[in-house]
């Protein structure tokens, strides 16, 4: 164990995210809970967020969207957001299903799917007969006992069970309250089969890295803004990015006392975050 | 760390369970997978097991039954076994639900139940309004997304979430294949709420201890026979009992190479185990 001796810098306050904003080249936004709150009719924009996206887009900063949304294809998802007033194109959105398809093809794997009906079309180009792995997404009501059991039987029947999970979120907020997310069912199958799932989506470092590659900037010049402390902020910080949590969506006050993940900043909502970025970033 | 030096006993073979049978005073039998295989019409006896129970009962050995069955009341469960030809009385059967009721009353807890419809009557005497804990059992088809979410919302709404799980089994065998057990859903809720469940049933040491207390014998004079290596054999051995695994029910050959649990013996089925016990035990 190496000991560090006190030095002058210890007496200084830790730099806040505001101090680092000047060097920013790009911003990645989580979507549900940052741009909008989910709901039965597709959801409603969080006040100020439509305008905030517009202002970011008009700035010098690169802008991408990174979501663990697996309840629809990217096309349908973006169409929903466009209807809410957001100016977002499909190519700017990074979601787990297309990333999973790429991995399945690369490794010659044929999935048994336990995913939401609306995301199934993303897997159209993948061979699915005689499955040799399982892919689970946020299947919501499709997470019945029968369906989870069917996925389990595929896994337990394989010599070396391979499970992909599109995210590892615990729960998310809809207008009627908190709902269980895919990570919970990932843990269930991991325990049943004594395996560890491969996570595709946030907080997997490879997932964030692909977004950075697409923006063409190094991680320390990028900022992730999300409502999920562990998956958005924690994942981004693991990659060397800055991570700021908004106090909207699934945010809970206890997040600010989390034992392992501390955000670089906590802000009321996206509009306030963008105000700060554009003011301090000189735009 | 204490070092032990080699001594003469190291050269001797480890004593097998057959060597210890002479000092036996009592036998505890797991039920599903040892006495019978579950199935849609209640299940069918495993060949030789009805006769094996009769022979044990006619011996000098004390006999109890220990099950994590939570899909019916003890009364209905024993009636099902009686119909199959087994001679078993309700008072000899130890199952998690009555143990849970005792704990809930002792601690003044009001449960939200996520259990099989047929075991609900066991909880008739427990106050359930305004719940301040959750009890999950093997709810099978009742483990819908909606029901698991409802249990989650109760837990996440409590200042200090308390979750009781009636067992921690991974899966069990029915005539159409392996089915997920309560432990899988326990893990799901543990992950969602960042808590650890209190397990009532096998392999919890307190559960085995209650059976030993009822028999009035010390643990080293008791033998547990089960098809579940971790929950039956591992749990019993933790308590100081001998533990033998039958190669029926959910047994899988890989159990004999399990990294942490090694049975004192592996036998083809209950009939063979009882043959050995009665032959070597001098009956």
What digits encode the pLDDT tens for the residues A130-181? 999 999 999 999 999 999 999 999 999 999 999 999 999 899 877 788 999 9
Residue in chain B closest to A138 (alpha carbons) equals B145
- Name the residue of chain B whose CA is nearest to A176's CA: B153
The whole-number average pLDDT for the span B58-83 is: 94
Q: Best of B180, B228, B252, B255 to disrupt the A interface by mutation (most A CBs within 10 Å)?
A: B180
Kindly indicate the confidence band of residue B11, based on its pLDDT and cuts at 50, 70 and 90: very low
Q: What span, in angstroms and rounded, lies between the C-alpha atoms of B172 and A282?
A: 63
Closest B-chain CA to A181: B192
Select from A148, A171, A180 the Cβ nearest to the Cβ of B180: A148
- Please tell me the distance in Å from A251's CA to the nearest CA on chain B: 14
Q: Please list every residue in chain A whose beta carbon sits closer than 8 Å to the beta carbon of residue B178.
A: 152-153, 156
The ipTM estimated for the assembled molecules is 0.79
* Mean pLDDT, residues A237-246: 96
- Is it the case that residue B283 has pLDDT exceeding 70? no
Q: Nearest CA of chain A to the CA of B144: how many Å?
A: 5
- B178/A141 CB distance under 8 A: no
pLDDT tens digits for range B169-182: 899 877 788 999 99
Instruction: From chain B, pick out residues whose CB is under 8 angstroms from the CB of A145.
Output: 139-144, 180
Q: Tell me what the mean pLDDT of segment A203-222 comes to.
A: 94
Better pLDDT: B123 or B40: B123
Contact A178 B152 (CB under 8 A): yes
Residue of chain B nearest A258, judged by CA positions: B194
Give yes or no for residue A283 having a pLDDT over 70. no
How many angstroms away from the CA of B181 is the closest CA of chain A?
8
pTM given for the model: 0.79
- Comparing C-alpha atoms, which of B95, B99, B129 is closest to residue B111? B129
Residue B147's closest chain A neighbor by CA? Answer: A144
B191–A192 CB contact, under 8 Å = no
User: Three-class SS string for chain A?
Assistant: CCCCCCCHHHHCCCCCHHHHHHHCCEEEECCECCCEECCCCCCEECCCHHHHHHHHHCCCCEEEEECCCCCCCHHHHHHHHHHCCCCCCHHHEECHHHHHHHHHHHCCCCEEEECCHHHHHHHCCCCCCCCCEEEECCCHHHCCHHHHHHHHHHHHCCCCCCEEECCCCCEEEECCEEEECHHHHHHHHHHHHCCCCEECCCCCHHHHHHHHHHHCCCHHHEEEEECCHHHHHHHHHHCCCEEEEECCCCCCHHHHHCCCCCCCEEECCHHHHHHHHHHHCCC
Provide, as residue numbers in chain B, all residues whose Cβ is less than 8 Å from the Cβ of A146. 141
CB contact under 8 A, A191 and B185: no
In this predicted structure, the answer to whether residue B239 has a pLDDT above a threshold of 70 is yes
């Amino acid at each position: 164990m190496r000991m560090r001796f006190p030095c002058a810098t210890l007496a200084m306050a830790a730099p806040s995210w505001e101090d680092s904003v000047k060097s920013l080249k790009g911003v990645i936004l989580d979507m549900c809970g940052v741009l909008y709150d989910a709901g039965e009719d597709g959801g409603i924009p969080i006040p100020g967020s439509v305008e905030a996206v517009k202002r970011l887009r008009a700035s010098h900063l690169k802008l991408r969207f990174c979501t663990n949304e697996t309840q629809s294809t990217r096309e349908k998802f973006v169409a929903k957001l466009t209807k809410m007033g957001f100016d977002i194109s499909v190519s700017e959105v990074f979601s787990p299903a297309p990333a999973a398809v790429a991995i399945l093809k690369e490794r010659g794997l044929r999935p048994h799917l336990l995913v939401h009906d609306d995301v199934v079309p993303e897997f159209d180009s993948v061979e699915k007969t005689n499955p040799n792995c399982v892919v689970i997404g946020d299947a919501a009501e499709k997470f019945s006992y029968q369906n989870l059991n069917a996925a389990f039987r595929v896994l337990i029947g394989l010599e070396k069970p391979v499970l992909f999970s599109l995210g590892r979120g615990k729960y998310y907020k809809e207008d009627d309250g908190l709902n269980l997310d895919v990570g919970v069912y990932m843990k269930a199958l991991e325990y049943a089969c004594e395996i560890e799932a491969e996570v595709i989506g946030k907080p997997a470092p490879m997932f964030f890295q692909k977004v950075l590659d697409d923006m063409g900037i190094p991680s320390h010049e990028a900022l992730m803004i999300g409502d999920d402390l562990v998956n958005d902020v924690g994942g981004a910080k693991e990659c060397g990015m800055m991570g700021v949590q908004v106090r909207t969506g699934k945010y809970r006050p206890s997040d600010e006392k989390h034992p392992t993940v501390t955000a670089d900043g906590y802000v009321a909502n996206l509009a306030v975050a963008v105000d700060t970025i554009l003011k301090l970033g000189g735009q």
